[in-house]
Amino acid sequence: MNKDRFNQLSGEILDAAITVHKEMGPGLLESVYELCLFKELQLRNIFVENQVAVPLYYKGENLNKDFRIDILVEKEIIVELKTVDYILPVHEAQIISYLKLTDKKLGFLINFNVPLLKEGFKRFVNHY
C-alpha cells in the first residue's frame, strides 16, 4: 500500500470515527463504538475486520497466546478503541506492540470518551 492510500484511509478512519462519535456521543461501552465504527467503515466500502487474532511468537515458536486487534482496515491499518478518562502509556504501548507484532506501518488509538473526538485520536507509525 502506498503513502497516498494510507493517507486517504487515514482521513476516512478519522471522519468515520467522528461520525460515530457525533451519532452515539461519549460514555458508551467500547464494544458499542467498535461495532458502529466497523459498520460505518463498511458503509464507505472499506474492507474491515474486527477482533483479529494476533498470535504471539517467541524465537519462532507459537506461544498459544493471541492478542486481539479491535479493527483492521484494508489488512494494513490497526485501529484500537478505548473509552477511558485518559489515554495512559499502557494504552499507547498496546498499539505499538500490535504494530510490531504484525509488522504493520500505521495504527490509530481512538478514545471515544471525550467531548470532541479529535482530542481522543492519536496516530502511531512503525517504520513508515
Label residues 2-39 b or e (16+ Cβ within 10 Å = b).
eeeebeebeebbbebbbbbbeeeeeeeebeebbebbbe
Residue 128 pLDDT? 59
What is the rounded distance in angstroms from the CA atom of residue 74 to the CA atom of residue 72?
7
9 lies in which domain range?
A: 3-125
Pair 56, 101: CB distance under 8 Å: yes
- CATH number of residue 36's parent domain: 3.40.1350
What is the rounded distance in angstroms from the CA atom of residue 52 to the CA atom of residue 29?
19
Q: Residue 73 has which C-alpha cell?
A: 482496515
Predicted structure pTM score: 0.93
Chunked into runs of 10 residues, the chain (128 residues) has average pLDDT values of 92 97 95 98 98 93 94 97 95 95 95 94 88
Q: Is 103 left (phi over 0), alpha (psi -120 to 50) or beta?
A: left
Residue count (the chain):
128
Report the domain count for the chain. 1
